[in-house]
Amino acid sequence: MEEIKELGSSKAGSIHCLTIVGQIEGHQLLPEDTKSTKYEHVLPLIAAVEESPEIEGLLILLNTMGGDVEAGLAIAELIAGMKKPTVSLVLGGGHSIGVPLAVAAKRSMIAPSAAMTIHPVRINGVVIGVPQTYNYFSRIQERIVGFVTEHSNISREEYLKLMTNTDELANDVGSVIHGAQAVESGLIDCMGGLADALAYLHGRGRE
């Protein structure tokens, strides 16, 4: 089960940390040997942080490998709807659904060595090739694009360009952008590390 850990405290209260790693597990269970974040455990923890008078802010550490789109968007929407200060810090990688999770926080940061993978919505297994199926994927993708562009400074045109790039990934469509590129594109607010994230949460460096 996911845990929220207290990192430190100030006069206003404590800073808590939530790790979102591996794949985001939704209603379909992942294999036992797959490291995953179970969204049904994370949702009540986020609500508890928002409700607690002793908690000043939330630090979200991200190193994702994709997963259930609906589950990932549910977590992202909860984070985006918080009134308390929130910071996301991408470490290692933010793959697929990790992108909306990163931009959901009030301040998004990325480590210099981290990377983010952006690609169209896809699914494993048998897909029925009918118009309804393609429309379904199109609607899901539009929800992701809308969320990301609403909660970051990247333009819709630039995000779609990164998502549909055919020159970046072997045998796939999409892009991998590293720390500085993520900031330059407007996807992530700034480069930073743990000290920077905590300074923001404790009220130092907030805009």
Q: How does DSSP assign 24-60, residue by residue?
A: EE-SSPPPTTS-EEEHHHHHHHHHHHHH-TTEEEEEE
- Could you tell me if 192 and 198 are in contact, meaning their C-beta atoms sit under 8 angstroms apart? no
Quick check: is 119 catalytic?
yes
From 16, 95, 119, 151, the catalytic residue: 119
From 36, 88, 96, 152, the catalytic residue: 96
- Could you tell me if 115 and 86 are in contact, meaning their C-beta atoms sit under 8 angstroms apart? no
Quick check: is 151 catalytic?
no
- Could you tell me if 48 and 63 are in contact, meaning their C-beta atoms sit under 8 angstroms apart? no
Q: Which of 35, 37, 34 is nearest to 18 (CA)?
A: 37
Q: Angle between the 39-51 and 69-80 helix axes, to the nearest 10 degrees?
A: 0
- Catalytically active residues, by annotation: 96, 119
